[in-house]
């Protein structure tokens, strides 16, 4: 007996009813779910009772989505970490009795401070990736290859469970080296490669060094997380050409249980928010809603986190959002070009706001540079400064380095409007990462 009917297999939607629901109905559904979530958190999690009492708001005060935006306080990773510290390990952020349901446990990487504990219930992380994979044509007969060392970083755990749930075969490559992984891909013939964008490109380099053309392997799809990837046109082109495969990106937050937004199958510069798993709104610096088409900070409530609810959670990611629907048929809101920057990684140079993500996109368009780069923030006598470290690709001869360095500096100056320092380092000298790549080094004096 097949897992899916013929009609379901042919449909581009995993859940057509919800993916194409008109905006007004979708918003009614959100309101009911938000009201339930807020009531549940207030009654069961000491952190929310404390925060909402201090803000003078009760769950029944939320009668409209505007009430949610205007009255409910936002929370931040630092709030959760502070409430966890009061009563470790999970503290007052978890619902009473929630410990009994905790059967999965992750931690944030701690790259921006003390790690946040992420206790959860197995069912919390279901079906986040499935919408995207289905929209792009991945079906139950596909075979996933996870080129990723599983650990306490949420990373691809949710993808692993979702692939299993779709009925696919999954192969975990464990702690093998890259050559071992290429040999295993040749032997087991998986069709979907799951890794970070940097590692997908690195693995292609390793394959070519072994005399294997990655574009001639069984891989048909590249699915990624951990850093901005295929939603950036230059990176998508590099990955797709290297592997002769379709590259699918997503935007996810590990605290919110993984993949929340994903690549539209028709417009590859758009990421749709899975509005079944989260409610998203874009707010300005004063916490006011930004109109559709505008830019601001993405603030999310996840419906999935039942053990440790996260309500009106600040992502610090700057996005441009659109609510007008999409011609792929989905009513779900979409973000243009994914994350445009981080509110906490912005540098102001001579009055101009500079975001690392913007610099990465500009550098990605310069064909003589590899995809690996580092961005360093420092404090100089006249204020904040930024220097990028970039690598030429192998076929740029050394005598052309000074000219290339000047070209990169001019390109950045022209597009950003302020001077950015450029340091050219030898090919393949910057570190490659299997997990989240470290690209931004903030050494500013606080």
Stretch of 261-269, 276-284, 291-299, 367-375 contacting Zn ion, by CB under 5 A: 261-269
Query: How far is the C-alpha of 284 from the C-alpha of 307, rounded, in Å?
Result: 29
Query: How far is the C-alpha of 191 from the C-alpha of 169, rounded, in Å?
Result: 10
Identify which of residues 48 and 131 has a Cβ nearer to Zn ion in the complex: 131
Query: How far is the C-alpha of 32 from the C-alpha of 28, rounded, in Å?
Result: 6
Two structure tokens written together for 287? 């916490």
Residue 130's nearest CA partner among 295, 8, 307, 219 is 8
Identify which of residues 201 and 231 has a Cβ nearer to Zn ion in the complex: 231
Identify which of residues 265 and 392 has a Cβ nearer to Zn ion in the complex: 265
Compute the least distance from the CB of residue 43 to Zn ion, in Å: 37
Among 207, 264, 373, 412, binds Zn ion (CB under 5 A): 264
Determine if 250 is a binding residue for Zn ion (CB under 5 A).
no
Largest CA distance in the chain: 71
Identify which of residues 324 and 380 has a Cβ nearer to Zn ion in the complex: 324
Two structure tokens written together for 76? 């931040």
Two structure tokens written together for 431? 């570190």
Stretch of 160-168, 194-202, 228-236, 323-331 contacting Zn ion, by CB under 5 A: 323-331
Query: How far is the C-alpha of 388 from the C-alpha of 409, rounded, in Å?
Result: 9
Q: Map the footprint of Zn ion across residues 295-314, applying CB under 5 A.
A: none
Compute the least distance from the CB of residue 321 to Zn ion, in Å: 13
Helix/strand/coil for 349: strand
Compute the least distance from the CB of residue 266 to Zn ion, in Å: 5
CA 428 to chain centre: 26
Identify which of residues 14 and 355 has a Cβ nearer to Zn ion in the complex: 14
Stretch of 24-32, 228-236, 257-265, 359-367 contacting Zn ion, by CB under 5 A: 257-265
Two structure tokens written together for 385? 């400064």
Stretch of 88-96, 263-271, 283-291, 362-370 contacting Zn ion, by CB under 5 A: 263-271
Compute the least distance from the CB of residue 334 to Zn ion, in Å: 6
- 8 Å CB contact between 299 and 281: yes
Q: Where are the beta strands (DSSP E) in 175-235?
A: 192-195, 221-224
Identify which of residues 185 and 333 has a Cβ nearer to Zn ion in the complex: 333
DSSP letter at 255 equals G
Identify which of residues 271 and 361 has a Cβ nearer to Zn ion in the complex: 271
Identify which of residues 202 and 330 has a Cβ nearer to Zn ion in the complex: 330
Backbone angles phi, psi at 225, to 5 degrees: -165, 175
Among 41, 45, 203, 328, binds Zn ion (CB under 5 A): 328
Stretch of 75-83, 146-154, 264-272, 438-446 contacting Zn ion, by CB under 5 A: 264-272
Residue 145's nearest CA partner among 223, 245, 216 is 223
Stretch of 35-43, 120-128, 220-228, 319-327 contacting Zn ion, by CB under 5 A: 319-327
- 8 Å CB contact between 73 and 51: yes
Identify which of residues 316 and 330 has a Cβ nearer to Zn ion in the complex: 330
Query: How far is the C-alpha of 389 from the C-alpha of 423, rounded, in Å?
Result: 5
Determine if 326 is a binding residue for Zn ion (CB under 5 A).
yes
Determine if 143 is a binding residue for Zn ion (CB under 5 A).
no
Q: Which residues bind Zn ion (CB under 5 A)?
A: 264, 326, 328, 330
């Amino acid at each position: 007996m097949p897992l899916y009917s013929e009609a379901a297999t042919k449909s581009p939607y995993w859940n057509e009813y919800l993916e194409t629901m008109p905006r007004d109905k979708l918003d009614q559904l959100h309101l009911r779910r938000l009201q339930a979530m807020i009531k549940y958190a207030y009654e069961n999690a000491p952190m929310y009772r404390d925060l909402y009492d201090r803000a003078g708001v009760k769950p029944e005060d939320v009668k409209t989505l505007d009430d949610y935006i205007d009255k409910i306080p936002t929370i931040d990773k630092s709030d959760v970490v502070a409430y966890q510290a009061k009563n470790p390990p999970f503290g007052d952020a978890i619902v009473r009795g929630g410990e009994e349901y905790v059967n999965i446990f992750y931690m944030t990487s701690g790259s921006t401070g003390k790690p946040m504990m992420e206790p959860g219930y197995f069912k919390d992380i279901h079906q986040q990736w499935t919408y995207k994979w289905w929209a792009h044509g991945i079906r139950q007969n596909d075979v996933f290859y996870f080129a990723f060392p599983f650990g306490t970083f949420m990373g691809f755990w949710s993808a692993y469970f979702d692939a299993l749930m779709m009925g696919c075969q999954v192969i975990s490559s464990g702690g093998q080296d890259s050559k071992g992984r290429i040999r295993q891909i040749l032997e087991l013939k998986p069709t979907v490669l799951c890794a970070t964008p940097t590692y997908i490109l690195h693995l292609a380099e390793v394959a070519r060094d072994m005399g294997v053309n990655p574009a001639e392997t069984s891989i048909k799809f590249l699915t990624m997380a951990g850093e901005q990837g295929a939603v950036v046109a230059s990176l998508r082109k590099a990955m797709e050409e290297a592997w002769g495969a379709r590259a699918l990106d997503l935007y996810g937050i590990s605290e919110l249980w993984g993949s929340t937004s994903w690549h539209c199958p028709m417009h590859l510069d758009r990421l749709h928010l899975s509005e079944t798993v989260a409610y998203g709104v874009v707010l300005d610096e004063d916490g006011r809603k930004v109109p559709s088409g505008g830019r601001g900070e993405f603030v999310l409530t996840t419906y999935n986190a039942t053990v440790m609810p996260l309500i009106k959670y600040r992502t610090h990611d700057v996005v441009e959002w659109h609510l007008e629907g999409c011609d792929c048929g989905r009513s779900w809101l979409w973000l243009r070009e994914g994350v445009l920057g981080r509110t906490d990684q912005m540098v102001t140079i001579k009055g101009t706001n500079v975001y690392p993500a913007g610099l990465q996109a500009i550098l990605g368009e310069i064909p003589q540079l590899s995809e690996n780069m580092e961005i360093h923030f420092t404090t100089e006598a006249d204020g904040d400064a930024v220097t990028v470290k970039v690598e030429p690709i192998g076929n740029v001869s050394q005598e052309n380095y000074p000219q290339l360095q000047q070209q990169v500096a001019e390109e950045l100056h022209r597009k950003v409007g302020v001077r950015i320092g450029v340091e050219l380092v030898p090919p393949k000298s910057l570190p490659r990462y299997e997990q989240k790549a470290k690209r931004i080094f903030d050494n500013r004096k606080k």
